[in-house]
Amino acid sequence: MSEFERISEHIYIMHAEEATDRPILAAVAGSSRTLLIDGGNSPAHAAAFREYLEREGVRSPDVLVLTHHHWDHSFGLAEWSLPAIAQRQTADILRGFAQLEWNEETVRRLAADGVLSERSAADMRKEYGEDLAGIRVEEPNIVFERFIDVHLGGLTCEIRFVGGDHSADSCIVFVKEEGTLFLGDALSPSVYGGPMKYTTGKFLALLDTIFAYGADVLVESHGRPASREEFYHDVRRYEQLARVVLRRGADRDAVERDLAAELGLTGAEALPEELREAVTYFMNGLSK
């Protein structure tokens, strides 16, 4: 069931849907232009959001930006027929994808090569049907390296390349006048090409970059929009974990013990499951 929300005066979103890994799609509507953040994972996903925007009477999108190349954010791009902004690496990867003939065989091969994962392949089959017919990848046509600003009439969107563990091409989008920061999947662990991992240096550097915006609302693509307080409360534990890993290295028991102590818990057993999982990702990030 699709869920839509106007999260501020000028920002409309379609919430994430876990069933087929659909990320949040957003439309930022200025007085003269509308910018779309991410294209969706399929034509059906894109169409559902477009119909919502039409119902709401939002100016139809003029331009689109991709937060990174992953299929769930980019495979709906062709459905929009819009100028599309992307970081250079995103554009390069999608140019390669656009030249492939997409079918079960292709998806299997890419999953085996670590370009996709088995989980993505399974989600694609759910979104597109077993034969995967209907996948059509389009190449973005406005390419930037580090920063690009988009002026929408009374609103400025600052797009910034940040990279990180999840995907080396990750970008974030700050809607300045609304104090809203779209993080894409930048803060998530790596998902393709080996065990999921976080590296302490990349994770902490990214947090510094994010905190420096002082945003009021932060939006992660597969979560719910969060107030600054909610976001900081949530992310602080991961920040503490990263710092403990810096201190303790690969000694997992010591890491769990120290983190539990810092969080005021009685023992390593008491660490919440999501943090134990994150410890695993950080350990994976160390083993090289």
- The single residue listed with the structure tokens 């995907």 is 167
Question: Minimum CB separation from Zn ion for residue 270, in Å?
Answer: 31
Cβ atoms of 189 and 282 within 8 Å: the answer is: no
Measured between its terminal Cα atoms, the distance across the chain in Å is 43
Site for Zn ion in 16-55 (CB under 5 A): none
Q: At what angle do helices 228-248 and 273-286 cross, to 10 degrees?
A: 50
Nearer to Zn ion, 58 or 122 (CB): 122
Count, residues near Zn ion per rule CB under 5 A:
2
On the CB side of 167, CA atoms within 13 Å amount to: 24
Report the alpha-carbon distance of residue 95 to residue 113 in Å, rounded.
18
Question: Minimum CB separation from Zn ion for residue 169, in Å?
Answer: 10
Nearer to Zn ion, 185 or 256 (CB): 185
Binding window for Zn ion (CB under 5 A); candidates: 4-12, 46-54, 64-72, 156-164 = 64-72
Nearer to Zn ion, 122 or 254 (CB): 122
Nearer to Zn ion, 34 or 49 (CB): 49
Question: Minimum CB separation from Zn ion for residue 39, in Å?
Answer: 13
One residue of 22, 69, 70, 197 binding Zn ion per CB under 5 A: 70
Nearer to Zn ion, 10 or 70 (CB): 70
Cβ neighbors of 274 (< 8 A, separation 6 or more) are none
Site for Zn ion in 186-245 (CB under 5 A): none
Question: Minimum CB separation from Zn ion for residue 180, in Å?
Answer: 20
Nearer to Zn ion, 116 or 244 (CB): 116
What b/e readout covers 262-281, taking b as 16+ CB neighbours within 10 angstroms? eeebeebeebeeebeebbbb
H or E element at residue 72: helix 71-74
Cβ atoms of 152 and 188 within 8 Å: the answer is: no
Cβ atoms of 16 and 6 within 8 Å: the answer is: no
Question: Minimum CB separation from Zn ion for residue 123, in Å?
Answer: 12
| Mode of pairing for the β-strands spanning 63-65 and 84-87 | parallel
Binding window for Zn ion (CB under 5 A); candidates: 44-52, 62-70, 80-88, 99-107 = 62-70
Binding window for Zn ion (CB under 5 A); candidates: 3-11, 50-58, 110-118, 182-190 = 182-190
Question: Minimum CB separation from Zn ion for residue 127, in Å?
Answer: 15
Question: Minimum CB separation from Zn ion for residue 70, in Å?
Answer: 4
Nearer to Zn ion, 24 or 155 (CB): 24
Nearer to Zn ion, 178 or 185 (CB): 185
Question: Minimum CB separation from Zn ion for residue 166, in Å?
Answer: 6
User: Is residue 286 left, alpha or beta, with left meaning phi > 0 and alpha meaning psi from -120 to 50?
Assistant: alpha
Report the alpha-carbon distance of residue 243 to residue 258 in Å, rounded.
10
- Helix (H/G/I), strand (E/B), else coil: 158: strand
One residue of 38, 79, 127, 185 binding Zn ion per CB under 5 A: 185
Give the interface with Zn ion as residue ranges (CB under 5 A): 70, 185
